[in-house]
Structure 1
Amino acid sequence: MRYLTLYIEISVLCVMLLVIIALQSSVRLNNPNYKRSYINAVVCTMFYVSFDCISRVASYGKGREYIDLLYVFKSMYFVSETVMGYLWFVYFEYVLGKGEEYQKRKEVLNSIVMFFVFINFFICVINSQTGIVFYYDKDLTFHLGSHYVLQIVLAYIYLITGSFQAFSKLFSSDEVIDRRKHATLAVVPFIPILFSIIQIKFNWMPLISASVTIVSLLIFFATQEDLISKDTVTALNNNREFMRRMYDEVAKLRDDNFAVIYLLVFEIDKIDVIGREQGNDEVGKKLKAFAKIIEDLSVDANRKAIVGRIKVNEFALFMKIYYRESEPDKQLYEERAIIRELKSDIKNAVARYNAREEQLYNLDVNIGVSRYKIEKNGVPNCFKEAEENMRKDRISKEQIKRAVI
Structure 2
Amino acid sequence: MGYEFYYIEAHLACFFLLGIILFKIIKGVNKDLSTVYLGNIVFVTMLYFIAEIFWALVDSGIINNTKPLLYLSNIFTYLLISVDAYLWFILSETLQKGKLVENDIARLLISIPVWISAILCISAYRTGLVFYVDENNVLVGGNLYLILIVVPFGYLFAASAKAFYRALDKDRYAERGMYFMIGVFPFMPVILGVMQAMYWRIPFLCYGIVAAVFYAYITQTENLISLDPLTQLNNRKQMFRYLAKKMREEEPGMSLFILLIDIDHFRTVNEAYGHLEGDNALIRVSDAIKDACQGPRSRFFVSRYGGDEFVVVAEMSYRAEATWLADQIRNNVKRITENFGTNYDLSISVGIAQYDYETPISLQAFIARADSDLYKQKKIN
TM range (shorter): 0.5 to 0.7
Question: How many angstroms apart in 2 are the aligned matches of 1:38 and 1:374?
Answer: 40
Amino acid at match of 1:373: V
Distance 2:214 2:92 in 1: 14
Give the residue type in structure 2 aligned to 1:14. C
Question: Are 1:152 and 2:129 matched, yes or no?
Answer: no
Deviation at 1:30, TM superposition (A): 2.9
Aligned partners of 2:78 and 2:265: how far apart in 1? 53
Give, in whole Å, the separation in 2 of the partners of 1:28 and 1:122: 36
Residues 229-257 of structure 1: CA deviation (Å, up to 9, x unaligned): xxxxxxxxx44134844589xxxxxxxxx
> 26-35 or 154-163, which moves further after superposition?
26-35
Aligned partner of residue 373 in structure 1, secondary structure: strand
TM-score of the superposed pair, with normalisation by structure 2: 0.60
More helix, by proportion: 1
Listed as ranges, the matches of 1:314-325 within 5 Å are 317-319=306-308
Equivalent position SS for 1:76: helix
Q: Which amino acid in structure 1 is aligned with residue 108 of structure 2? A: N
Q: Does 1:74 align with 2:51?
A: no
CA contact (8 A) 1:136 1:142 kept: yes
Aligned counterpart, 1:23: 23
Aligned residues: 274
- Residues 262, 372 of structure 1: 8 Å contact kept: no
Deviation at 1:208, TM superposition (A): 2.1
Preserved contact between residue 26 and residue 35 of structure 1 (Cα < 8 Å)? no
Q: Which residue of 2 aligns with 1:241?
A: 228
Unaligned runs of 5+ in 2: 236-262, 283-303, 310-347, 355-362, 373-381
Counterpart of 1:324? none
Specify which of 122, 127, 131 is matched with residue 124 of structure 2: 127
Matches within 5 A, 1:134-213: 134-136=131-133, 142-145=139-142, 147-172=144-169, 178-213=175-210
RMSD over aligned CA atoms reads: 4.1
- Give the structure-1-normalised TM-score: 0.57
2:50 corresponds to which residue? Answer: 50
**Taking every aligned residue pair, what percent have the same amino acid on both sides?**
20
What residue ranges of structure 1 are gaps of 5+ in the alignment?
Answer: 229-237, 249-258, 264-297, 308-314, 321-370, 378-382, 393-405
CA shift, 1:143, in A, is 4.8
Equivalent AA in structure 1 for residue 105 of structure 2: E
Contact preservation (8 Å) 1:63, 1:140: no
Output the CA distance in 2 between the equivalents of 1:138 and 1:157.
33
**Match for 1:80: what amino acid?**
L
Change (3 A) 1:215 1:144: farther
Amino acid at match of 2:200: N
1:132·1:147 contact (CA, 8 Å) conserved in 2? yes
Larger radius of gyration: 1
Match of 2:339 in 1: none
CA contact (8 A) 1:246 1:318 kept: no
| Residue 39, structure 1, aligned to residue 39, structure 2 | yes
- CA gap of 1:137–1:173, structure 2 versus 1, over 3 A, is farther
